[in-house]
């Protein structure tokens, strides 16, 4: 087999890696500069480009949900012997998130893990790719960007799982509301999952309320809904703040346990509400896997050469899987103790 050299920076810039290529193996890479004598891929050890750091950029770093993102980054750093950083504004400030992302690009990091809160992140992600910095999205995707891979929950399936549980809890009939942050791609997919199942069951969705990922706004939305829909049977929350705010509103209205709730994620307040019976279930994402495998894939891109074709650059082959579903699990009172963080 002939030895083929590929300029990784040029490959990122020109090979059309944003094209959807279907699911691939977790450990696939391009660039055969250091192909082994046996014809297999070469392992370079150290990143070929950048300052050796892999950086996650997000907003809402103060949200407990993102603790697991940081844990995943740290575990990948420990496993690979590399450096990682967890950066971004503590609140939902997309302009500041873009600024943080742009700063990481100027620092020539070796790879970027980006939480795709909004389509406005696409230009910065593309700028990173043009600069030769591989970038993946996690948790929420920016599909119109040139990101290499999206790693996250199969969000419509997560919504379907939550809807099936909510339908069971309310006995297959009644009125429900959905609490979400509107305009965020992954959350819209979860809402679609709920709609699909609840509509098929003949369960009426009377409102989809926007909480802007703010538990106080979620509580206000639920309080208003309880006034206008006194026979409300269930509430579905597709992001973490919604469940916390819903629990607060139901306690204040003395309707805890009467109105059934399926929340999202595994933050401490949600788990406590499940234990006390204010929330009946929550859909847990394996969020630490998103950032762990995000760093693993970026490091693989930088260090491991597996020939997918005779000439990956010429073929325009994405060296990473375009999508990795990290899965979701159902938390109930029966298993909530196992989901509590002990460290």
Is residue 3 in a domain?
Answer: no
The pLDDT tens digits for 237-263 are 999 999 999 999 999 999 999 999 999
CATH, residue 186: 3.40.50.2300
Q: Indicate if 317 and 190 belong to the same structural domain.
A: no
Is residue 269 in a domain?
Answer: yes
Cβ distance 73 to 292 under 8 Å? yes
pLDDT at 16: 40
Q: Indicate if 313 and 241 belong to the same structural domain.
A: no
Find residue 84's DSSP bridge partners: 54
Q: Indicate if 145 and 12 belong to the same structural domain.
A: yes
The stretches in the chain having pLDDT less than 70 are: 1-44, 313, 342-343
* Rama region for 183: left / alpha / beta (φ>0; ψ in -120 to 50; rest): left
Is residue 339 in a domain?
Answer: no
pLDDT at 176: 98
Q: Indicate if 252 and 313 belong to the same structural domain.
A: no
Is residue 333 in a domain?
Answer: no
Distance CA 175, CA 190 (A): 18
Chain CA centroid to CA 230, Å: 35
Is residue 337 in a domain?
Answer: no
The pLDDT tens digits for 183-214 are 888 899 999 999 999 999 999 999 999 999 99
Is residue 343 in a domain?
Answer: no
pLDDT at 42: 56
Half-sphere exposure of 139 (CA within 13 A, CB side): 27
Chain position carrying tokens 């997309």: 94
pLDDT at 314: 81
Q: Indicate if 129 and 262 belong to the same structural domain.
A: no
Q: Indicate if 147 and 291 belong to the same structural domain.
A: yes
Is residue 191 in a domain?
Answer: yes
DSSP state for residue 280 in the 8-state scheme: -
Compute φ and ψ for 2, nearest 5 degrees. -75, 150
Q: Indicate if 176 and 277 belong to the same structural domain.
A: yes
Q: Indicate if 162 and 273 belong to the same structural domain.
A: yes
Q: Indicate if 293 and 144 belong to the same structural domain.
A: yes
Three-state SS at 36: coil
Cβ distance 107 to 51 under 8 Å? yes
Residue 320 neighbours by CB under 8 Å, 6+ apart? 24, 28, 29, 136, 148, 149, 297, 300, 301
Domain boundary among 235, 269, 285: 285
| Reported pTM | 0.76
Q: Which residue blocks in 175-233 are alpha helix, DSSP H?
A: 185-201, 215-228
Q: Indicate if 108 and 223 belong to the same structural domain.
A: no
**Count of structural domains within the chain:** 2
pLDDT at 307: 80
Q: Indicate if 125 and 25 belong to the same structural domain.
A: yes
Cβ distance 298 to 113 under 8 Å? yes
Is residue 166 in a domain?
Answer: yes
Domain interval for residue 120: 8-153+287-327
Q: Indicate if 192 and 118 belong to the same structural domain.
A: no
Find residue 207's DSSP bridge partners: 177
């Amino acid at each position: 087999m002939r030895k083929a050299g590929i300029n990784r920076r040029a490959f990122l810039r020109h090979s059309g890696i944003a094209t959807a290529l279907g699911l691939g193996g977790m450990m696939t890479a391009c660039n055969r500069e250091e192909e082994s004598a046996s014809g297999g891929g070469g392992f370079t050890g150290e990143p070929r480009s950048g300052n050796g750091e892999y950086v996650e950029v997000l907003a809402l770093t103060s949200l407990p949900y993102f603790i697991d993102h940081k844990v995943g980054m740290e575990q990948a750093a420990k496993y690979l012997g590399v450096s990682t950083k967890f950066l971004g504004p503590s609140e939902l400030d997309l302009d500041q998130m873009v600024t943080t992302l742009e700063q990481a690009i100027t620092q020539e990091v070796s790879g970027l893990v980006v939480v795709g809160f909004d389509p406005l992140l696409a230009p910065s992600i593309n700028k990173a790719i043009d600069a030769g910095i591989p970038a993946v999205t996690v948790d929420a995707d920016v599909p119109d960007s040139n990101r290499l891979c999206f790693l996250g929950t199969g969000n419509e399936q997560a919504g379907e799982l939550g809807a099936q549980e909510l339908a069971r809890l309310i006995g297959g009939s009644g009125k429900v509301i959905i609490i979400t942050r509107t305009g965020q791609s992954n959350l819209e997919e979860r809402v679609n999952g709920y709609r699909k199942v609840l509509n098929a069951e003949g369960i009426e969705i009377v409102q989809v309320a926007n909480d802007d990922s703010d538990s106080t706004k979620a509580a206000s939305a639920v309080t208003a809904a309880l006034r206008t829909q006194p026979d409300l049977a269930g509430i579905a929350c597709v992001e973490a703040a919604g469940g916390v705010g819903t629990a607060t509103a139901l306690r204040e209205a003395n309707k805890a346990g009467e109105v059934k709730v399926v929340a999202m994620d595994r933050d401490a307040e949600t788990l406590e509400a499940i234990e006390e019976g204010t929330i009946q279930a929550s859909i847990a994402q394996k969020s630490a896997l998103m950032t762990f495998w995000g760093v693993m894939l970026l490091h693989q891109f930088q260090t491991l050469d597996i020939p997918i074709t005779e000439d990956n650059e010429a073929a325009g082959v994405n060296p990473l899987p375009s999508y990795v579903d990290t899965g979701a699990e159902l938390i109930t009172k029966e298993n909530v103790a196992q989901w509590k963080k002990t460290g």
